[in-house]
Amino acid sequence: MNPKHREQTYHLAGIGHWEFELETNVLYWSDEIKKLHDVPLDYQLTVEDAIAFYEKGESRRSVQKAVERAIDNGEGYVIEAKIITSKGNERWVKSIGEPVFENGQCIRLYGSTQDITAHKKREQKIKKQQKKLNLLSRVASETQNMVIITDLHERIEWVNEAFARVTGYTQQDVLGKNPGWLLQGPETDQKTVRRISAKIDAGKPFSEEILNYTKAGNPYWLKMDVTPITDDKGNITQFFSIQEDVSEQKQTEQKLEDSLKEKETLLMEIHHRVKNNLAVISGLLQLQAYKSDDELLRQKLDDSVSRIKTMASIHELLYNSDNFSKLDAVEIIQKLINEILLGFGSKATLNTKFDLQSIELNINQAIPLSLIINEVVTNILKHAFIDVDTGTLAMFISEKNKLVQLRITDNGKGLPEGFPDVVNTNSLGLELIETLSQQLKADYIYETVSGETHFILTFEKTDVKGIGSAL
């Protein structure tokens, strides 16, 4: 076959043709090969120039040895090697060479060169993917967690040994089957099933917990982490799921939950009994006051009844609350003021004003605070509005940076001179305010401003441990 005919044949096949005359040291490249090496079509080169295009190292050495064997021994060759074009581009080529001998001597080499860069890239990518899959398979086989790979239709393609150990199903049992249909049972939550299905349709990674069943019908709790696997174009091809048997953890959580419910029930019962016992004590004191002819004694007993009712109100709020250790200051104050006003029966018509910030207080702060409010408001009702037809009682509470401020204001008769003298007074109420303030680690003052009397209490909100009502 003459060179032009051979060139046309290679061109039609998308392959460049080359020939090398040993006697003249002339190398011929077809246009296809020149384009492949990024050289001009009128470019003239030697065989040394051609070999220089091959990447230094193994690629260049393999071409040199192949050419030498062809010339010396008459061996044809097929080589795949990397070249660096004149523009610095990396390409893979497949070069085929055949020697022509006359009188036992090689006079010519000819052959073809083909660009196989795209093929090599695909091949390298496949090798990398295979390497990853082999690593993944090895890790998945050795891990204690279950691993499942499913296709787009949620059919199982592969499971590891841990899956067989936990579920009792072998790989042959499950291949091609839907894991949901296979593993779900009578107590499996269908809302969770629908949620998982929706997340799979969304094609995003997710985590879920679900109750599944082994081949023998035994239930177990499963935590799954599912990740979609995509191709080069971002299309989902499979789903990779790592699954863990969390039955023991679930049992522990259930025991803790049951224990917590028992304790909540017990606390509820305690608050209920405390409230009832305080009501019994209050009733006894009221009966004693009713039977007593001593006006001073009756007054002291009534004051004690008021204090007991205040503590009972706190326990009633706790009994009716979802939280058995904390209360909202708004609930406390409004309930206390309403009960104090209802029970006191003041002759004056009082307007009440509230400006209360919602503040969650620990019970061990809520009880002493409530008793202080009871003492202050009771004192106001006893002394501030004597011989007064109307008046205003205002209550403010706020918190900033965990510092709580309570302010009780009235526009009654005002404070007597020297008030309050806790040390030299015989007032149990003032002594209680002092003692309870110390318990709260609070500062308090009485002051008169523009004809109004203010009681201001300031303390830091904390989770106090111990019994809040201890005096």
What would the pLDDT profile of 421-436 be if each residue is shown by its tens digit? 544 455 677 888 888 8
Quote the pLDDT of residue 373. 87
Q: What is the mean pLDDT of residues 168-174?
A: 90
* pLDDT given for residue 467 in this prediction: 47
Q: Residue range 83-105: average pLDDT? A: 92
The bridge status of strand 105-115 relative to strand 16-21 is antiparallel
- Return the pLDDT at 459: 94
pLDDT at position 346: 60
Band of the pLDDT at 10, cuts 50, 70, 90? Answer: very low
- Residues 122-134: what's their mean pLDDT? 73
How far out from the chain centre does Cα 176 lie? Answer: 34
pLDDT value of position 72: 92
How confident is the model at residue 46, as a pLDDT? 83
Which of the two residues, 236 and 278, has the higher pLDDT score? 236
Contact (Cβ atoms closer than 8 angstroms) between residue 240 and residue 229? yes
Distance CA 196, CA 209 (A): 9
Find the range with the poorest average confidence among 24-33, 243-252, 400-409: 243-252
- Name the fold adopted by 139-245: Beta-Lactamase (3.30.450)
Q: What is the pLDDT of residue 345?
A: 62
Sign of torsion over alpha carbons 241, 242, 248, 250: negative
What's the rounded mean pLDDT across residues 380-400? Answer: 85
Q: How high is the pLDDT of residue 93?
A: 92
pLDDT band at 323 (very low <50, low <70, confident <90, very high): low
Give the pLDDT score at 169.
92
In this model, does residue 131 exceed pLDDT 90? no
Q: Which CATH class is domain 3-115?
A: alpha beta
Please tell us whether the domain made up of 332-471 is placed in CATH 3.30.565.10.
Answer: yes
Average pLDDT over residues 73-96: 92
- The model carries a pTM of 0.44
Tens-digit pLDDT profile for residues 186-198:
999 999 999 998 9
Mean pLDDT, the chain, as a whole number? 82
The pLDDT, as a whole number, for residue 457 is 94
pLDDT in the model for residue 469: 43
* Residue 1 confidence class, pLDDT cut points 50, 70, 90: very low
When pLDDT is averaged across residues 154-164 and rounded to a whole number, the result is 87
Highest mean pLDDT out of 13-17, 223-227, 348-352? 223-227
Lowest pLDDT segment from 234-248, 317-331, 440-454: 317-331
Three-state SS sequence of the chain? CCHHHHHHHHHHCCCEEEEEECCCCEEEECHHHHHHCCCCCCCCCCHHHHHHCECCCHHHHHHHHHHHHHHHHCCCEEEEEEEECCCCCEEEEEEEEEEEEECCEEEEEEEEEEECHHHHHHHHHHHHHHHHHHHHHHHHHHCCCEEEEEECCCCEEEECHHHHHHHCCCHHHHCCCCHHHHHCCCCCCHHHHHHHHHHHHHCCCEEEEEEEECCCCCEEEEEEEEEEEECCCCCEEEEEEEEEECHHHHHHHHHHHHHHHHHHHHHHHHHHHHHHHHHHHHHHHHHHHHHCCCHHHHHHHHHHHHHHHHHHHHHHHHHCCCCCCEEEHHHHHHHHHHHHHHHHCCCCEEEEEEEECCCEEEHHHHHHHHHHHHHHHHHHHHHCCCCCCEEEEEEEEEEECCEEEEEEEECCCCCCCCCCCCCCCCCHHHHHHHHHHHHHCCEEEEEEECCEEEEEEEEECCCCCCCCCCC
pLDDT of 320 higher than 70 = no
